[in-house]
């Protein structure tokens, strides 16, 4: 793996390998000293053209836990605000010897351009580009799903706890995930549909037709306009094992401006038809979990009862984000093409010396 740009680029073996590595990384995070020396001497640049405090902090934490030097580059107040092009910024980072560039950009395809334009030798990690992809979000979602849903049994949140050892090497075969809300503008949905399909899960997208992209029928998933029917299991895949609520992007919902606006009549109607509230929570199976990439609009796409219920794994998603991003950075910068670059079990230490990346 040279870059991480899209979940469509990940085969099942790659995805499982990242999740297994993340599990090992997560195990180290319960130690008194969480820091590993693995990426000592490497430089990771967080190149953020778009505000995203939680994603940036998650990547920064991941890189620092691996002992990398981290440079945070925000477009605001930087040379970018003075008109510098992406190309010139990339050439600057190249000159400064960045080993990895974590890029968040409002333009779909910007990470692809950075990875392939020849401006930069560094590994490029897509931390969210426009409406296109957010692969580490999908990976942390899959990781969270796997902890709760893989293996022989289904682990209800708050029960005996997820079993990471049982999940090792597993996918999400046969599980059913409903992704609900603004699919049209969601890089999270785009990333998740492909990754979950790769891992063997069934996906149902639930949204009003105005919030589904033209061409969605070609995606590897089902589509429903009826959230109640999906939650009640009135589909070929039965009821969902997980419900992933998407944020309604209020800035896109006005009646004018870019995007055309007016995707639904008003927030109340949206909430009634597509919001996850206590009643709908009751339709879910015992073991089913509730997810949300955050930040949440409480009272719009998700009620407080749903967000704070024992089924919700939203905070756990955030924690898992650090482990997944550690795994990605580790595999890009220190891993090799061998399958056993990471320790076989969480009880073993993660490699303590730098590794030379495969040429």
Rounded to whole angstroms, how far apart are CA atoms 290 and 277? Answer: 11
- Distance of alpha carbon 237 from alpha carbon 221, whole angstroms: 11
217 assigned binding-site residue: no
Question: Shortest Cβ distance from residue 185 to another protein (Å)?
Answer: 9
- The verdict on 154 binding another protein (CB under 8 A) reads no
295 is in an annotated binding site: yes
Between residue 158 and residue 217, which ones bind another protein under the rule CB under 8 A?
187, 190, 213-216
Choice from 72, 74, 108, 249 touching another protein (CB under 8 A)? 108
Where helices occur in the chain by DSSP H, the ranges are: 12-28, 53-65, 86-95, 110-116, 135-149, 164-167, 187-198, 227-231, 267-274, 278-281, 304-307, 314-333
Cβ–Cβ under 8 Å, residues 270 and 217 = no
| Cβ neighbours around 98 below 10 Å, total | 24
Strand-pair partners of 43? 69
CB-count exposure of residue 173 (10 Å: 0-12, 13-18, 19+): exposed
* Residue 79 makes contact with another protein by CB under 8 A: no
Name the residue among 22, 16, 54, 4 with its Cα closest to residue 293: 54
Which part of the chain contacts another protein (CB under 8 A), choosing from 61-69, 130-138, 200-208, 276-284? 130-138
Q: How many residues bind another protein (CB under 8 A)?
A: 31
Binding flag, residue 112, another protein (CB under 8 A): yes
* The pair of three-digit structure tokens given for residue 255, joined into one six-digit string: 């009646």
Determine if residue 82 is labeled as part of a ligand binding site: yes
Q: Which stretch binds another protein (CB under 8 A): 36-44, 103-111, 136-144, 223-231?
A: 103-111
Mind giving me the DSSP string for 286-326? TT-EEE--S---BTTTB-HHHHTSTTB-HHHHHHHHHHHHH
Among 3, 56, 104, 132, indicate the residue that binds another protein (CB under 8 A).
Answer: 132
Q: From the CB of 75, what's the least distance to another protein, in Å?
A: 12
Q: Which stretch binds another protein (CB under 8 A): 164-172, 195-203, 238-246, 255-263?
A: 255-263
Q: Tell whether residue 249 is a contact of another protein (CB under 8 A).
A: no
Minimum separation from the CB atom of position 279 to another protein (A): 32
Query: Count of residues for the chain?
Result: 359
Annotated binding site for L-aspartate: 82, 187, 247
Give me the residues that bind another protein (CB under 8 A), please.
8, 85-87, 105-110, 112-113, 116-117, 129-133, 187, 190, 213-216, 218-219, 257-260
Annotated binding site: 54-55, 82, 104, 134, 137, 187, 247, 294-295
């Amino acid at each position: 793996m040279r870059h991480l740009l899209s979940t469509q680029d990940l085969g099942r073996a790659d995805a499982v390998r990242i999740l297994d590595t993340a599990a090992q990384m997560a195990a180290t995070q319960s130690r008194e000293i969480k820091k590993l020396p693995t990426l000592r001497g490497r430089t990771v640049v967080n190149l953020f053209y778009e505000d995203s405090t939680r994603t940036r902090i998650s990547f920064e934490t991941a890189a620092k836990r691996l002992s990398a030097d981290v440079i945070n580059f925000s477009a605001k107040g930087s040379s970018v605000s003075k008109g510098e092009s992406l190309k010139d910024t990339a050439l600057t980072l190249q000159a400064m010897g960045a080993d990895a560039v974590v890029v968040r950009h409002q333009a779909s395809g910007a990470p692809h351009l950075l990875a392939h334009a020849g401006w930069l030798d560094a590994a490029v990690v897509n931390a969210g580009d426009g409406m296109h992809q957010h692969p580490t979000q999908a990976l942390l979602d899959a990781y969270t799903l796997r902890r709760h849903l893989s293996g022989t049994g289904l682990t209800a949140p708050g029960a005996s706890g997820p079993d990471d050892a049982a999940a090792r090497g597993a996918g999400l075969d046969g599980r059913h995930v409903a992704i609900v809300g603004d699919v049209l503008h969601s890089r999270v949905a785009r990333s998740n549909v492909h990754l979950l399909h790769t891992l063997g899960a069934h996906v149902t997208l639930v949204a009003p037709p105005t919030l589904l992209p033209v061409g969605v029928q070609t995606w590897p998933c089902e589509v429903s306009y009826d959230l109640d029917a999906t939650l009640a299991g009135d589909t070929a895949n039965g009821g969902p094992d997980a419900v992933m609520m998407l944020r309604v992007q209020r800035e896109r919902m006005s009646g004018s401006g870019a995007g055309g606006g007016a995707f639904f009549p008003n927030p109340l109607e949206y909430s009634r038809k597509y919001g996850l509230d206590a009643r709908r929570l009751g339709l879910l199976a015992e073991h089913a979990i509730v997810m949300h990439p955050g930040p949440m609009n409480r009272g719009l796409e998700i009620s407080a009862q749903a967000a704070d219920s024992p089924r919700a794994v939203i905070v756990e998603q955030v924690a898992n984000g650090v482990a997944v991003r550690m795994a990605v950075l580790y595999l890009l910068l220190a891993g090799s093409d061998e399958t056993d670059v990471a320790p076989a079990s969480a009880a073993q230490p993660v490699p303590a010396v730098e590794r030379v990346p495969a040429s």
